[in-house]
Amino acid sequence: MINVTKTFLPPQEEYNAILKRAWDTGWMTNRGVLVKELEQKLQNYLKSRPLIAMTNGTLPLQIAIKALGLNGEIITTPFSYVATTSSIVWEGCTPVFVDIHPEYLTIDETQIEAAITDKTSAILATHVFGNPCEVEAIDKIAKKHSLKVIYDAAHCFGVEYKGQSIFNFGDVSTCSFHATKLFHTGEGGALFCNDDRYKQMYLHHNFGHDGEDVFEGIGINAKMSEPQSAMGLSVLKYQKKIIDDRKRITENYGSHFCNFKSIQIICLRPGTDWNYSYYPIIFKTEELLLKVKDRLNSQQIYPRRYFYPSLNLMGYVNDFKCPISESIAKRILCLPLYYNLKEKDQNNISAIIKKAIND
């Protein structure tokens, strides 16, 4: 069986050796030594602003919305994982969808200003498949209209844009460390922000605790545990190997599909140092996608329809027309991509896809 992704697991004895440090103290959560070490090592590795490790990748979005005091409308993308939109609704705000760029697949920055009203408080955009948004244009719009900017950078571990960590953009950036990601803590995530916002975000992720028995406002439990941090520390040392392998796999797919006229492949924004996080292909029709998917499934190969459906069609949001996102969402399929995927399996996947298209 070949799934769309596969969790990278370090040697178990290495994970156990790191976890033993927490085990020996009996300190499993409440920001023990491992989570603090992981935060510092990640900041150094990523060359990013300060971060707060959290127990999943959705809570950083919810905390950012809460801590920034957002209300009313938040302009966002319809092409992302559902957590981007559900976090807005969960925090009592209204998502206002702006369609996406047909090649980069990120929010179309040229349409943002037209969506701004006197109720707009922020822009929440997603760097899709690790492909950056047009951050300079979004920053100008936000400053002009006094809006906050949050970036859902769930797919962006290790991505740099114009020489900067992608996590250095916006008022807040977030990341997912889910087991399916190229860097993971089993389940986890992080929130990145400047020093002037750090304490506020920190308080929100730990019940509002400011010391043992002092509380500064409302908070929630978003703390990362020591076992999660041990996984992150043991995985981090393999990042170069993981990314190099994914690059090899991505280039092999590219050799099959870059000049294949029936398929559109991802177009990276100039200035992007990518992380090879996903390999999406876009078919001419949904019918063709479903035909290919069925052929692959019959061989126990399971790609994934990231992202489907377009989020403007979710039942709990207002009706917005986003024709490009709706079309892309119906026609895009992410192929299997993970550390140590065998070349012969890749070649077989590519051959099945080409045969299905040509039949």
Domain 2-98+105-236 class, CATH top level? alpha beta
Give pLDDT, residue 262: 87
Q: Whose CA is closest to 277, among 127, 149, 59, 104?
A: 127
Residue 104: strand, helix, or coil: coil
Say what angle helices 343-358 and 239-257 make with each other, to 10 degrees: 30
pLDDT tens per residue, range 189-234: 999 999 999 999 999 999 988 878 888 888 999 999 999 999 999 9
As given in the structure block, the two tokens for residue 286 are: 């949904």
Q: What is the pLDDT of residue 261?
A: 84
pLDDT in tens, 65-104: 999 999 999 999 999 999 999 999 999 999 999 999 999 9
Per CATH, 2-98+105-236 and 239-358 having the same topology is answered: no
Per-residue confidence (pLDDT) for residue 258, from 0 to 100: 85
The domain segmentation of the chain, as residue ranges, is 2-98+105-236, 239-358
pLDDT digits (tens, 9 = 90+) for 157-167: 999 999 999 99
Nearest to 121 by CA among 70, 68, 86, 172: 70
Q: What pLDDT score does 216 carry?
A: 86
Averaged pLDDT, 15-26 = 96
CATH architecture of 239-358: Alpha-Beta Complex (3.90)
pLDDT band at 355, cuts 50/70/90? very high
Residues 320, 291 contacting (CB under 8 angstroms): no
47-65 average pLDDT score:
98
Question: Tell me, what amino acid is at 42?
Answer: L
**pLDDT for the residue numbered 212:** 80
Question: Using one digit for the tens of pLDDT, what is the confidence trace for 307-323?
Answer: 999 999 999 999 999 99
